[in-house]
Chain A
Amino acid sequence: MSKARLATMWLDGCSGCHMSFLDMDELLLEVLGKADIVYGAFVDAKEFPEGVDVTLVEGAVGSSEDLRKLKMARERSRVLVAFGDCAVTGNVPSLRNPIGPKAVLESVYLEKPAVNPQIPSQLVPELLEEDLPIHAWVPVDLYLTGCPPSAARIYDCVKRLLDGEPPEAVSEAVAFKFG
């Protein structure tokens, strides 16, 4: 049997969910026995490949670049998982929403002492008006909550998905918790 294709994606989040994935420790060997990781922060792949079975998306959608990457992941993945509270609810990155991107940029780049105070406009992606959960933009198959989700729960979900369980069944079988 050929191995499944697993990908991860890191958008507007702290990478804590990726760290929690690594906390699976020896169970990683079992996961890697079932699937190859074909894209994400754990591997050196430049482009998101076609035909991915399961993609874990960490982080909210805060910039135009986040949105471009998310849409590509959705197009090329069979199962898309909102991986952690930022992807599920917006969580900490969404704290900026009540004040708006303009006030945030001015506070960080202009109001604080800086050598050359200016709001960056080149090479960095534009901030979207609001930092939103990924299902505000694309359909999501499974919501894996937690800040971060525990390694045990990540393992439980990933294993079930790689074993071919439908996401709805995984959602029913596993208990989820915000925070």
Chain B
Amino acid sequence: MSEVRTLQIDGKDVAARSDQTILSAAQDNEIGIPTLCHLEGLSDVGACRLCVVEVEGTPKLLPSCTTRVEEGMKITTTSERLVAYRRKMIEMFFVERNHICAVCVANNHCELQDLATRLGVDHFDLPLMHPKLPVDATHERFAIDHNRCILCTRCVRVCDEVEQAHTWDVAGRGAESLIVSDLGTPWGSSTTCTSCGKCVQVCPTGALFEKGRSVAEPKARRPYLPYLVRVAEREQ
């Protein structure tokens, strides 16, 4: 059973349950910590490191989404050092793959783009990697563009934990990692995918998207028209 823990976040005394994470305790007290791989309803894995905080007595920065509260903890969620690290993380996401906001399906609806604005990232000092990455558009309704993927694994988790299909997984190591369906076979030929689209809904960027929505793709559904006319005539 969980017990009560008392701690300080940004100088404010707060109480939390012993099974709560620092992030959850901060959110309960309306203290905003930037997050990216975290999503309410999914397990936390600490993949993006954006939610790191300083804990007194620990030289390391700790991810608040996977660190449990402890009695007497003194936590800082915003400092010059933390902001500098968070900006660098955003920058690393951008330079690692080909994030071209202007021509991305998620432009203006992207958590990475929003965080760059929020944290004041207006250019990248690190060199752009420009990797050559594939796009898998074999699925009838959806597609995955690895150029936009930040490996947050929200899709992997939602597919496993909520839809319980476990179509997605991570292959490879480090920057070379790729999200793969069914052990690295084309998404369209997946025997486990239920086409539920949950992965598309949780993707923070434009990596997973619904087909038919981007430039020049939408198709009009005119066959409905004769039907509507006939119904209208009958009602007169």
Please report A residues at the B interface, Cβ cutoff 8 Å.
82, 85, 88-92, 94-95, 97-99, 130, 132-133, 135-136, 140, 143, 145, 147, 171, 175-179
Contacts and interface: CB of A to CB of B under 8 A. Distances in A.
A147 B104 CA distance: 12
B117 A94 contact: no
Interface centre among A90, A133, A178 (most CB of B within 10 A): A178
A91 B94 CA distance: 11
Interface string B72-112: 00000000000000000000001000101111100110100
Nearest to B124: A89
Contacts of B100: 89, 91-92, 94-95
B103 A176 contact: no
A147 B108 CA distance: 12
B117 A177 contact: yes
B122 A179 contact: no
Contacts of A97: 128, 130
B117 A95 contact: no
B113 A98 contact: no
A97 to B, nearest CB: 4
B186 interface: no
Interface of B: 94, 98, 100-104, 107-108, 110, 113, 116-117, 120, 122-124, 127-128, 130-133
A177 B102 contact: no
B130 A98 contact: yes
A137 B123 CA distance: 14
Interface SS of chain B: helix, strand, loop or mixed?
loop
A130 to B, nearest CB: 7
A132 to B, nearest CB: 8
Contacts of A82: 123
B123 A135 contact: yes
A9 to B, nearest CB: 18
A95 B128 CA distance: 12
B102 A179 contact: yes
Interface centre among A82, A136, A176 (most CB of B within 10 A): A176
Contacts of A133: 123-124, 128
Contacts of B127: 136
A107 B145 CA distance: 23
Contact of A140 (B102, B123, B133): B123
A178 B113 contact: yes
Contacts of A143: 122-123
A179 B132 contact: no
A177 B115 CA distance: 10
A1 to B, nearest CB: 31
10 contacts: A85-B102, A89-B123, A90-B128, A133-B128, A145-B122, A171-B122, A176-B117, A177-B113, A179-B101, A179-B104
Nearest to B108: A179
A90 B100 CA distance: 9
A136 B128 CA distance: 10
